[in-house]
A and B are shown apart, each in its own frame.
Chain A
Amino acid sequence: DAKTTQPPSMDCAEGRAANLPCNHSTISGNEYVYWYRQIHSQGPQYIIHGLKNNETNEMASLIITEDRKSSTLILPHATLRDTAVYYCIVRAQAGTALIFGKGTTLSVSS
């Protein structure tokens, strides 16, 4: 599975959009991009995933560049409850471990 690079921390004001970048320059054609988050003391939570096209669900939007070497997770209106560690994961094969790196710690403040 391709390796990912994320900034260690980011800050965001409540109500503003949070844009979390992820670099995955070695991604292969059959690898998906997944985003999870982990709120303190809780289990990781799936947010969104994509292969080539941009995706949106009730939690967030995922923007993948045309060359697929990077992506951005967008939380359109961040709230205090979005404070968490966000993990960008790239993988191809189901039924194997998710490799959680250090992720980005997002701090949302009022």
Chain B
Amino acid sequence: NAGVTQTPKFRVLKTGQSMTLLCAQDMNHEYMYWYRQDPGMGLRLIHYSVGEGTTAKGEVPDGYNVSRLKKQNFLLGLESAAPSQTSVYFCASGFSGRADIQYFGAGTRLSVL
């Protein structure tokens, strides 16, 4: 049982390049989330999904797009990377219900030069 797997673990981009971060979970969770973590800022929610085919904006959605075509996968896209998107990105997933326990991946460390 792998839990939440993020791909890739590290990436360096040049300004203006695009890329997709993949999050996969094997726990049959309904909910999935993308957070970013910057030094001194804590985790901030970018986008989230409460089910296959649905997505919603979080606190800091600008410059990112997401898709949830399959229940187990949640993709985060950067169409035109900017240095301000240098960060550590965490994906999480969880069951629906009142007690919402989120399980996190190991993170993707992205540098935009």
Q: Which residues of the partner chain A approach B105 to less than 8 Å between Cβ atoms?
A: 43
Instruction: Determine the residue in chain B with the shortest Cβ distance to A34.
Output: B101
From A32, A34, A91, A94, name the one whose CB has the most chain B CB atoms within 10 angstroms.
A94
Evaluate contact between B99 and A95: CB separation under 8 angstroms. Answer: no
Contact among A42, A45, A94, A100 for B96, CB-based, below 8 A: A94
Task: Type the 1/0 row for A12-38, where 1 means its CB is closer than 8 Å to any CB of B.
Answer: 000000000000000000101010000
Q: Which residues of the partner chain A approach B31 to less than 8 Å between Cβ atoms?
A: 94-95
Evaluate contact between B100 and A94: CB separation under 8 angstroms. Answer: yes
Evaluate contact between B99 and A49: CB separation under 8 angstroms. Answer: yes
Q: Using C-beta atoms within 8 Å of the partner chain, give the interface range for chain A.
A: 20 to 34
Within the complex, the shortest CB–CB distance from A104 to chain B, in Å, comes to: 13
Q: Which residues of the partner chain A approach B45 to less than 8 Å between Cβ atoms?
A: 97
Summarize A's interface: helix, strand, loop or mixed.
Answer: loop
Evaluate contact between B50 and A95: CB separation under 8 angstroms. Answer: yes
Q: Which residues of the partner chain B approach A42 to less than 8 Å between Cβ atoms?
A: 106-107
Evaluate contact between A44 and B48: CB separation under 8 angstroms. Answer: no
Evaluate contact between A97 and B106: CB separation under 8 angstroms. Answer: no
Q: Which residues of the partner chain A approach B98 to less than 8 Å between Cβ atoms?
A: 30, 32, 92, 94
Given contacts A49-B101, A91-B100, A94-B94, contact A44 B106 (CB under 8 A): no
B39 at the interface (CB under 8 A from A): no
* Residues in chain B within 8 A of chain A (CB atoms): 4, 30-31, 33, 35, 42-43, 45, 48, 50, 58-59, 90, 92, 94-107
